[in-house]
């Protein structure tokens, strides 16, 4: 059964999706304001369970460039849209002047059920637009769960082929394949404290971080518990376009839909399609 929603504008750069009773479902910030070396971009935070527990972490101390729920590509033609230090095979991780920025351009639809807008991915050093994105965020709320479907069409507007990379494909450590839609969770989500019900699974019978990290699967699931309330939430991550290679961390809870294993080349004028869904259930 679908629940009625309403939209509330928060200044000129953010909106809040609320249930009819005023409970916050999630907040979407599209107006920037984060430091340049964190690759500024639109993001969702807080993202909440229907019971009111906050599920995301914004600018955590360990990785301030993790911005709740946000779309990133680690390297687009050498420009870092993930944020933080960049890895090079020759000298490892260093802070470099190579960060990109995503800029909200125009709303196509702005309702509680559907947020649809144009986003430009730019290299501030040259001022060039690398990608032009059509992004749609669809919120559906039921009695005991809600879902967010995130679809992005990324058009190569640069005029030349673009290499899409992550740091593993660029010669970094094996397993450093983080890229794509990123969900940085609240710190308490996967703290197992001896409770076997808490943890990470994926289709194919994979159980635990070691089994799921790097595996190719269509779905991954987190079973979580929250400090203070002791309530539980189940988060289902789905790649609706087929299997992806999951990047997952439990200690600093992170899930990334890594949509390519090796360097992927997006030809001039071509479009990359991403289609993901996250479902947050009371457990």
DSSP characters over 106-129: EEEEESSSEEEEEEEEEETTTTEE
Helix (H) or strand (E) holding 209: helix 209-212
Residue 2: which pLDDT band, with cuts at 50, 70 and 90? low
Higher pLDDT, 32 or 165: 165
How high is the pLDDT of residue 1? 54
Residue of 71, 81, 203 whose CA lies nearest to 150: 71
- The pLDDT assigned to 27 comes to 98
Question: What is the pLDDT, as a whole number, of residue 110?
Answer: 98
Identify the pLDDT of residue 283: 87
Give the rounded percent of residues in the chain with a pLDDT score beyond 90: 93
Q: What is the per-residue pLDDT for 224?
A: 98
Tell me what pLDDT residue 5 has.
97
Quickly state the pLDDT bin for 35 (edges 50, 70, 90).
very high
Give the mean pLDDT of 260-270: 96
Across 229-236, average pLDDT: 97
CA–CA dist 151, 135 (Å, integer): 6
Are the C-beta atoms of residues 180 and 41 closer than 8 Å to each other? no
Q: Which secondary structure element, helix H or strand E, spans residue 211, and what is its range?
A: helix 209-212
Q: Is the pLDDT of residue 132 over 70?
A: yes
The predicted model gives 136-160 an average pLDDT of 97
| pLDDT, mean of residues 125-145 | 96
Is the pLDDT reported for residue 43 higher than 80? yes
3-state SS class at 80: strand
Across 96-105, 170-179, 230-239, least confident range: 170-179
Mean pLDDT of 221-230: 97
Confidence bin at 113 (pLDDT 50/70/90): very high
Q: How far is residue 276 CA from its own chain's centroid? A: 10
Distance CA 63, CA 252 (A): 9
pLDDT at 184 over 70: yes
Residue 102's pLDDT is: 98
Question: At 211, phi and psi to the nearest 5?
Answer: -80, -30
* Locus of tokens 């992005």: 152
Q: Please, what is the average pLDDT of the chain?
A: 96
By the 10 Å C-beta count (0-12 exposed, 13-18 middle, 19+ buried), 69 is classed as buried
| Residue 61: exposure state from Cβ atoms within 10 A (0-12, 13-18, ≥19) | exposed
């Amino acid at each position: 059964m679908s629940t009625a929603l309403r939209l509330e504008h928060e200044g000129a750069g953010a909106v809040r999706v609320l249930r009819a009773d005023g409970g916050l479902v999630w907040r979407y910030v599209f107006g920037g304001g984060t430091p340049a070396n964190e690759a500024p971009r639109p993001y969702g935070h807080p993202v909440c369970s229907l019971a009111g527990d906050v599920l995301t972490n914004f600018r955590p101390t360990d990785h301030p460039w993790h911005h709740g729920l946000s779309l990133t590509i680690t390297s687009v033609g050498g420009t870092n849209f993930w944020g933080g230090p960049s890895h090079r095979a020759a000298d490892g991780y260093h802070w470099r002047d190579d960060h990109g920025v995503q800029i909200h351009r125009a709303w196509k639809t702005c309702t509680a059920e559907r947020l649809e807008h144009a986003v430009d991915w730019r290299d501030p050093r040259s001022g060039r637009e690398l990608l032009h994105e059509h992004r749609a965020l669809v919120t559906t709320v039921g009695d005991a769960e809600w879902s967010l479907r995130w679809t992005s069409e990324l058009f190569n507007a640069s005029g030349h082929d673009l290499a899409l990379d992550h740091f593993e494909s660029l010669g970094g450590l094996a397993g450093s394949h983080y890229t794509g839609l990123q969900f940085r969770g609240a710190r308490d989500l996967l703290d197992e404290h001896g409770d076997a019900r808490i943890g990470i699974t994926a289709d194919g019978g994979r159980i635990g971080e070691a089994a799921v990290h790097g595996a190719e699967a269509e779905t991954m699931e987190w079973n979580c518990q929250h400090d203070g309330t002791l309530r539980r939430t189940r988060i289902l991550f789905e790649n609706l376009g087929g299997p992806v290679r999951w990047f997952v961390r439990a200690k600093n809870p992170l899930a990334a839909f890594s949509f390519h294993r090796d360097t992927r080349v997006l030809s001039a004028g071509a479009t990359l399609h991403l289609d993901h869904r996250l479902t947050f259930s009371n457990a």
